[in-house]
Amino acid sequence: MRDINQFTITEAVKKSFRTEEGSRFEFLLHKMLDHLHDFTRETNLTHDEWMRVLNFLYDCGKISTPERHEFILLSDVIGFSALVDMINTRGGATEGSNLGPFYLENAPTKELGADLAGEREGALVVVHGIVRHILGQPLPGAIVDTWQADGSGTYPIQEQERGQDKFDLRGIFKTDEQGRYYYTTVLPKPYTVPDDGPVGELLRAGKRHNWRAPHLHFMLRAEGMRTNVTEVFFENTQYIDNDAVFGVRKSLIGKVEPYKADKVGDLPLERKPDAMLHFDFVMAPAD
Ligand code: BEZ
Ligand code: FE
């Protein structure tokens, strides 16, 4: 190792890890070292730049708490999370999209047709559709777990000090024998990702905003199927073409239209809606 230089160091570092030959860990570690070292050589990284990166990561760690994970936010705004979502979408299945920080396990189970909006102001929309297998057949008994921001762009979990219930505006539904899900809610408004930390500084340095296009979150689960985490967006809404975390995909944009009972079918709804949003989900079999 004595005659190590900028061209031989990569192999030397790789060899220094006694990883299991042919393992996934070895593959990922070697690739990461290859790319990191190539990046360093290609950019002629200076000491100042190197330290700036390390201090940036240090600051991300410093501001992180169990509720606030600045590294995930970093991954989101540089399209790393979106890329992982894209790569892990199975052919024919609904495209995956950002989980975000506000998912809660054990949201309340709701009957189909229930209303999530309660007393909130704003147009009431029925969200409905069918959950299908990639081969086309409906999936009865599939779990549709949903959560969202409200008509002011806030998740109730962020407003607990003001007396909001963290489980508000979320629910777990089970599709009926025709694979249908349906419920009413209010449409969420655009929402900002936190910008009071190092990721915010990065956004400002790149003259970027921190707004997310309005969206509904979904996690779909079904026996023998691959769990699908995704989001549904709405046509003609703000930030649909420049979502801060690159969550929008063409296939995930739904259309909100005035409610017409004959278009929705005979759905027993707790409240009469003003608008409707039809969105079908497609699930792939588990690997
Ligand atoms: C969200 O969709 O709620 C979200 C996503 C990424 C960062 C922050 C929030
Ligand atoms: Fe969200």
Ligand 1 nearest atom to the CA of residue 149, by list position: 3
Q: Is the CB of 193 under 6 A from ligand 1?
A: yes
At 35, the amino acid letter reads H
Q: 143 CA distance to ligand 2 centroid (A)?
A: 19
Q: Based on the fold, state whether residues 102 and 157 are members of the same structural domain.
A: yes
List 275's β-bridge partners, or say none: 125, 258
Q: What CATH code is carried by the domain that includes residue 129?
A: 2.60.130.10
Last residue of a domain, one of 72, 91, 108: 72
Cα separation, 28 vs 23, in Å, equals 9
In a domain, residue 244? The reply is yes
Q: What's the confidence (pLDDT) of residue 122?
A: 85
Sign of CA dihedral 38, 43, 44, 50: negative
Q: Based on the fold, state whether residues 63 and 89 are members of the same structural domain.
A: no
In a domain, residue 254? The reply is yes
Q: Based on the fold, state whether residues 184 and 217 are members of the same structural domain.
A: yes
In a domain, residue 100? The reply is yes
**H/E element holding 76?**
helix 70-77
Q: Is the CB of 102 under 6 A from ligand 1?
A: yes
List 221's β-bridge partners, or say none: 143
Count Cβ atoms below 10 Å from residue 131 Cβ, excluding itself.
29
Q: Based on the fold, state whether residues 115 and 47 are members of the same structural domain.
A: no
- Residue 209 and residue 199 in contact, taking contact as beta carbons nearer than 8 Å: no
Last residue of a domain, one of 72, 95, 110: 72
Q: Based on the fold, state whether residues 125 and 181 are members of the same structural domain.
A: yes
Q: Based on the fold, state whether residues 42 and 102 are members of the same structural domain.
A: no
In a domain, residue 187? The reply is yes
Q: How many CA atoms lie within 13 A of 204 on its CB side?
A: 8
Ligand 1 nearest atom to the CA of residue 217, by list position: 2
Q: Based on the fold, state whether residues 107 and 197 are members of the same structural domain.
A: yes
The b/e string for 241-276 (b: 16+ C-beta within 10 A; e otherwise) is eebbbbbbbeebbbebeebeeeeeeebebeeebebb
In a domain, residue 215? The reply is yes
Pairing of strands 211-212, 191-192: antiparallel
Q: Based on the fold, state whether residues 24 and 101 are members of the same structural domain.
A: no
| pLDDT digit string (tens) for the chain, length 287 residues | 678 999 999 999 999 999 999 999 999 999 999 999 999 999 999 999 999 999 999 999 999 998 899 999 999 999 999 999 999 999 999 999 999 999 999 999 999 999 999 988 888 999 999 999 999 999 999 999 999 999 888 888 888 888 888 888 999 999 999 999 999 999 999 999 999 999 999 999 999 999 999 999 999 999 999 999 999 999 999 999 999 999 999 999 999 999 998 888 889 999 999 999 999 999 999 98
Q: What's the confidence (pLDDT) of residue 167?
A: 87
Residue 161 exposed, middle or buried by CB count within 10 Å (0-12, 13-18, 19+) = exposed
Q: Based on the fold, state whether residues 58 and 91 are members of the same structural domain.
A: no
Q: Pick from 185, 166, 199, 215: which is nearest to 124 by CA?
A: 185
Cα separation, 109 vs 170, in Å, equals 9
Q: 100 CA distance to ligand 1 centroid (A)?
A: 4
Of 104, 148, 170, 191, the residue with max ligand 1 atoms within 8 A of its CB, to mutate for a pocket test, comes to: 191
In a domain, residue 140? The reply is yes
Note the ligand closest to the C-alpha atom of 169. 2
Q: What's the confidence (pLDDT) of residue 1?
A: 67
Q: Based on the fold, state whether residues 166 and 98 are members of the same structural domain.
A: yes
Q: Based on the fold, state whether residues 94 and 18 are members of the same structural domain.
A: no
Last residue of a domain, one of 32, 56, 72: 72
Domain count, the chain: 2
At 66, is the secondary structure helix, strand, or coil? coil
In a domain, residue 222? The reply is yes
Which contacts (CB < 8 Å, 24+ apart) does range 8-12 have?
Answer: 9/37, 10/34, 10/37, 10/38
Q: Pick from 170, 178, 186, 255: which is nearest to 218 by CA?
A: 170
Q: Which domain holds residue 136?
A: 80-283
Edge to edge, what strands does the sheet with 215-221 contain?
170-174, 143-148, 215-221, 228-234, 253-254
In a domain, residue 3? The reply is no
Q: What's the confidence (pLDDT) of residue 271?
A: 94
Q: Based on the fold, state whether residues 220 and 118 are members of the same structural domain.
A: yes
DSSP, res 204: H
